Amino acid sequence: MSRAARALAPPLAAAAVRLLGATLRVTVAGAEGLGRHWASAEPLIYAIWHGRILMVPWLHARLAATQGIRPVTVLASRSEDGELVARYVHRFGLPSVRGSSSRGGGEAARALLARLGRRCDIAVVPDGPRGPRGQLQPGIVGLAALTGAPIVPFAVAAKPAYRLASWDQLMVPLPFARCALVFGAPRRIARDADRERAAKEVARDLDEVTAAADRLVGA
């Protein structure tokens, strides 16, 4: 992609998502269980599989206007694709922290810990930025154990939708599709927890909430 195309991609993608979002029939489930968290000062760690992220910034803006969800800091990789993601989410008013398990991981972890320490919510894509799809990397469990912040699994589903031929099979809703945003129950990770077991539990939570979203739209 040329430099000019990279400059234009985030604003064009954000505009397209806003137009697409206006046509969707959206159902939100599980948010009622988070109301007391949003009203408190306790930070949250949101987690979603990479293939379901496209509509998340637009859905966050919708929830901020209707249900009081707080601003969220997004983890984006230091790759060129991560730069596009960071600039895309900024179009929806979401700040980002740059880094991944392969590049800038320590610096990103420190930045996320600092955000959580300031009682800011964060969002992590635990099978990103390069996969394998649906396999949880351990960083999110460490963040939760060190800070005490609960992990909130969530998922987005749509039908009809198109899947890109990418490693994550990114889901793109078609215009006028049924769309579901589903939040799972927050999970706390004890500081002395078995991290491997905790990671399997968080991955299971993500799979279950993704399946629940798919069921809501009949996907």
CB atoms within 10 A of CB 137: 20
Calpha distance 138→152 (Å, rounded): 15
Strand order in the sheet with 121-124: 25-29, 171-183, 151-163, 45-47, 121-124, 72-76, 96-98
pLDDT of residue 55: 98
pLDDT of residue 67: 86
pLDDT of residue 68: 83
Instruction: Provide mean pLDDT across the span 161-168.
Output: 95
- pLDDT tens digits for range 33-60: 898 888 888 999 999 999 999 999 999 9
Residue 155: its H or E element: strand 151-163
CATH number of the domain bearing residue 139: 3.40.1130.10
**In sequence order, which residues have a C-beta less than 8 Å from that of residue 85 and are 6 or more positions away?**
74, 76, 77, 96
**In sequence order, which residues have a C-beta less than 8 Å from that of residue 67 and are 6 or more positions away?**
28, 31, 35, 38
* Number of domains, the chain: 1
- pLDDT tens digits for range 66-96: 888 899 999 888 788 788 999 999 999 999 9
104 pLDDT above the threshold of 90: no
Q: What is the model's pTM?
A: 0.93
Range of the domain at 119: 3-217
pLDDT of residue 100: 60
